[in-house]
Amino acid sequence: MWTRNEQTICAVSTPNGVGGIAVIRISGKDSLTITKKIAKSLVKKEIESHKAYFCNITDLENNKVDESVVTYFAQGKSFTGEEVVEISCHGSRFITQQILDLLVKCGARIADKGEFTYRAFMSGNLDLVQAESVLSLIESQNQASAKVALRQLEGHVSKEFEILISDLTWCLAHIEASIDFIEQGVEVVDTKVLINKLKSINQSLSKLIKTYQSGRLIKDGIRVALIGEPNVGKSSLLNLLLQNDKAIVTPIAGTTRDVIDGEIIYEGVKYSISDTAGLRETKDHVEIIGIDKSKKEAEMADVLCFVFDCSEKDWERSLQLATQLKNTKKIFLLNKTDSISSDQHTALVNKIKDSLKLPNVESILFTSALKPDSRDQIFGLIKNNIGSLEYLDEAIISSSRQFEQAQEALENIERSLIELENNMGAEFVAMYLKEALVSLQKILGQVYDDQIMDRIFKEFCLGK
């Protein structure tokens, strides 16, 4: 798809549907020429960049299609870096399709997904980190994710990687020079200086990599799974957290047989919360499938909320299940607390703590779907358990691609440090540093291939 860069492209940039206004974007060297064929009143005008012109859109037989406002952006002064025209017309699907058809007849073609942003990257207006942030900003559903995407678009993350690339290039240049002058016995740079420089790069890169967990959670949301035996109140808690009767609640064990989930924004952060089938021994084939799905959901969750029923006397089965589930971040909700006296609270907490070998009771919470304040308490405990959103005002990486390349660079830098500290050959050090440098350059798009391009831009909409 990326071999057609010389052609003029067009697409609707506003969301699909009916609205007051729709914006059709045209980009390429013939944008204005093609537009004038359907906006004939512009032909005799001296069109200036960044100015809007009211005109009629007509078909090739000069029949009026719509009234519109046309805005022109000269080459080098637009998002894509090319000559761009934006037609603001009435937001009817029929009208926008008519105008698109006319533009195609006049020489444009329909844009591929992400092609406008791709052209902005190719023109040097954006690097790959900024290009990815455009999609993240479009898809952001809360204040935190929008803030992270905007900081990436402004270049905060790119600047950090540019500094690392510059420092790593310095190290590699001196290593290469050392290889060239090795026969003359000339030491281009002191090994200790090089080691200290690489350790500094290593530290800065490690700090960026650590932000990925926060970036991922902010961008994609925190996945929470409610799990436990049947009838412990998972569905009621789901409804409480979502503030919506999402799950059916009955006193019949096994009512929930599949994973039921919902999303909510709480204090600026997105949460994806799942209610799962109760874990128990059963011969019901449908329920067995539901239980298997519950276990998989638990494994994928960022935070696992294991729910106990305070009114139950025998917790051995529940305690055994809580131990078996593999998840590093668990909180324990002692539900239906309204059914027991306050004197029993301490005994129950100690039983959980001792049975599960918990270092403290900070991950244990008494809850009740009948008490509205339980909602805030549960979200507070989840947030405390995540404990990794402190990078919000810093440069954060939120893309798995960025994380993978940064991790690869870090591993090669660490290998080069080992070689240097063991006085191994400079050729091996140079090899590792070259690999690390290429990985960092791939993050910004200074080195790229079709596979990288496809991975980044295939998720975009047509108009972006």
And the tokens for 106? 């006049």
Pairing of strands 303-309, 222-227: parallel
pLDDT tens-digit map of 17-61:
788 899 999 999 999 999 999 999 999 889 999 999 999 999 999
pTM greater than the 0.75 cutoff: no
Handedness of CA 316, 322, 325, 328 (dihedral sign): negative
CATH 3.10.20.30 fits 137-217+399-445, yes or no: no
pLDDT band per the 50, 70, 90 thresholds, residue 181: low
CATH code 1.20.120.430 region(s) in the chain: 137-217+399-445
Q: Judging by DSSP bridges, how do beta strands 222-227 and 269-275 pair with one another? A: parallel
When the pLDDT of each residue in the chain is averaged and rounded to a whole number, the result is: 81
Cβ(279)–Cβ(265) below 8 Å: no
DSSP 41: G
Return d(Cα 409, Cα 160) in angstroms, integer: 14
pLDDT of 343 above 80: no
Q: In which band, very low, low, confident or very high, does the pLDDT at 454 lie, cut at 50, 70 and 90?
A: low
**Distant-in-sequence, close-in-space partners of 97: CB < 8 Å, separation ≥ 6:** none
Fold of the 9-126 domain: Gyrase A; domain 2 (3.30.1360)
CA distance readout (Å), 353 to 2, 136, 362: 59, 41, 10
For the chain, residues classed under CATH 3.30.1360.120 are 9-126
How many Å apart are CA 237 and CA 235, to the nearest integer? 5
| Phi, psi values for residue 159, rounded to 5° | -60, -40
Which CATH architecture group holds 221-386?
A: 3-Layer(aba) Sandwich (3.40)
Domain ranges in the chain with CATH number 3.40.50.300: 221-386
Contact 42, 55 (CB under 8 A): yes
Q: What are phi and psi of 67, to 5 degrees?
A: -95, 140
Rounded to whole angstroms, how far apart are CA atoms 267 and 261?
A: 19
